[in-house]
Amino acid sequence: MTARPIIIDTDPGQDDAIAILMALASPELDVRAITTVAGNVPQPRVTDNSLSLVTLAEREDVPVYRGCSRPLVRKLYTAEYVHGPTGVDGADLPTPTVEAHPMHGVDAIIEACLDAGDEPITVCPLGPLTNIGMAIAKEPSILDGIREIVWMGGAFDEAGNTTPLAEFNAYVDPHAAHIVFSSGVPLTIMPLDVTHKALMVERHVEHLASIDRPAAQAAAGMVRFYERYDIDKYGIPGAPLHDPCVIAFLLEPSLFSGETGPIAIDHWNEATIGNTYRSEEEGVGRATVMSSVDADAFFDLVIERVGSL
């Protein structure tokens, strides 16, 4: 089996952390790089968290690159109110045993895609699309080296979680999202429509916590902290694991279903900025927008992979 080459672009975040651990535990995936982007918490915190996660997974061979510290146009909006001041509250992650690579994350994405050859890269953004949009704008020829982009972000038939219309990752950098949407690259989106159906309820957390392995213990602790916000806000029985949906899709695409069609994002009107929507207008992009998930099988996969580290 040839492992699928991927780049994870991320702003950890507890759910980002679990997605990263899943990917690092999966032999089907060749994680060529982790690039970090300001989002859930600022730089350099997201970079420190990513370095701690490769240390926890004993995957120090995976290089971590520090990416953009702010969105392309707007001021940075962060989510410590959800994730805590560290972004990964609930777990004592190890002190990193490696440092970030000196190359900027945007340039690392560009270099990897230009050098992809016969093995195009799957780009997996788990946060705002700043680094990806910047890479495409700086070097449009990278699109030939991208197999597809699988992004967690947006909300279509579901209400937003940051404004009534906008999901967090879309809201933080809608201008970068517009660049990605209109680039023509094959795009799969995991919006709130599907991630809010992937709730990690108590039996899942207990199962994860019962595994006497460092990564499983860290993941269970992070979920127990992270779930409080959504349980209080939505009255739901557990935490939606947004970002692990991206990795699960790469491993088991049959767990998800959705529709392919034209999409757009509002990136100018402040009243509706960050709103992702289906559109028949000229010049919009196309994406497969996922809307359903086999939640039980999804959590079996999450727990099996994280628990194996």
Just list the catalytic residues. 242
Please, are residues 42 and 69 in contact by the beta-carbon 8 Å criterion? yes
Please, are residues 195 and 247 in contact by the beta-carbon 8 Å criterion? no
* Edge-to-edge strand ranges of the sheet holding 256-265: 64-66, 29-36, 4-10, 121-125, 146-152, 187-190, 285-293, 256-265, 276-278
User: In the chain, which ranges are continuous DSSP H helix?
Assistant: 14-24, 45-56, 80-83, 105-114, 130-138, 168-172, 174-181, 192-195, 202-209, 214-234, 244-251, 295-306
Token pair listed for 163: 């404004």
Please, are residues 77 and 49 in contact by the beta-carbon 8 Å criterion? no
Tell me how far apart the alpha carbons of residues 294 and 257 are, in angstroms, rounded to a whole number.
9
Token pair listed for 267: 């990136």
Tell me how far apart the alpha carbons of residues 238 and 234 are, in angstroms, rounded to a whole number.
10
Sign of the dihedral defined by the CA atoms of residues 92, 94, 100, 106, in that order: negative
Please, are residues 54 and 60 in contact by the beta-carbon 8 Å criterion? yes
Token pair listed for 298: 């999804």
